[in-house]
Amino acid sequence: MTGHMMIARVRTKQTGPSSSDRVIEELLFSGRMPTNVSGGQGDHTVAEGLLRRVIHKVVNQKREDAFLVVLDLVINSSLLASTADRIVQANKVHYMGFGAKSGEEQNRLLEDLIQDYIRAANKRAYTAFPRKAGKTSGGGGEREALKQLDLLAVKYYERFDRDVPAASDITARDQGIFVKNVCALVDYSGDDLEEAVKIVERAMVTALERVPFHVVWQSLLGQVTAEVFQANKPLGEQVRVSVEAILKKSHVEEYRVEWATGPSSPADETDEDSS
């Protein structure tokens, strides 16, 4: 793992008398993973910080549970099935006897799995383009957008706990905040329909993983795609129809309540802007 540009670090805290009572207190990232852009990092079409923030759902969980959460993210992500299977096969063997391993070894295995996931996600097609290609603007405003999505996640998780709210329970103001900030995490100004569909799909799937009760928030998809592509109305309509068709068959329609333990606090932000 030493060849990775990005390093993930897990910090834990004791919550009871037994060593098994330790939970993850903090997840820190430094550096950035390479993308599919030759000769450099390029500009991200969907902010890398959003992907990192999804991983923060492991905060306040025991390391053994957190390992399963990240494996679930790999399986249900938009990675190619072959890529997801490779990561799962390489890491699931470490889960056998996980609880009997030392705390240091548990941290290392969890950090390696997180890095495997983010490395694979960053290598997907359409993740980034060279700035000279003119398909991105270079991004901006990522930190504030992530903060606002985190605040929504905290608000609705604390209000409804494990009971999925109805769409009418989400205020019009909060719907607007969600749409605005997901749009802020998408940066694409090209004119290729296939690229546009994949980029919007990726942003929506990732954002919906971050906000609890994503079945309800998914209804805002049309607003997101309309705003992202408002400058190109014909392309925007094509993207909206195509992405809706994709997401109707997507895993994001299934609320996986068994491990939805709620978001971490957005107060201590450690990620740098990475659009």
Cα dihedral: 255, 150, 124, 138 (round 10): 150
Report how far Cα 219 is from the mean position of its chain's Cα atoms: 19
Task: Work out the pLDDT band at 253, boundaries 50, 70, 90.
Answer: very low
Lowest-pLDDT range, 111-115, 142-146, 148-152, 231-235? Answer: 231-235
Mind listing the pLDDT tens digit for each residue in 73-103?
Answer: 887 676 777 888 899 888 888 888 888 899 9
- Share above pLDDT 70 across residues of the chain, in percent, rounded to a whole number: 70
* DSSP 8-state class, residue 265: P
Give the pLDDT confidence score for residue 224 in this predicted structure: 73
Q: What is the mean pLDDT of residues 225-234?
A: 65
pLDDT at 159 over 60: yes
Strands 128-129 and 22-30: unpaired
Mind listing the pLDDT tens digit for each residue in 22-46?
Answer: 899 998 888 878 787 876 678 888 8
Mind listing the pLDDT tens digit for each residue in 100-147?
Answer: 899 999 999 999 999 998 888 888 888 888 888 888 877 667 888 888
Task: Work out the pLDDT band at 178, boundaries 50, 70, 90.
Answer: confident
Task: Work out the pLDDT band at 264, boundaries 50, 70, 90.
Answer: very low
Q: What's the rounded Cα separation, in Å, for the pair 189 and 5? A: 28
pLDDT at 15 over 80: yes
Measured from the Cβ of residue 174, the count of other Cβ atoms closer than 10 Å reads: 16
Give the pLDDT confidence score for residue 186 in this predicted structure: 82
Helix (H) / strand (E) element for 234: namely helix 233-247
CA torsion sign for 258, 52, 228, 197 is negative
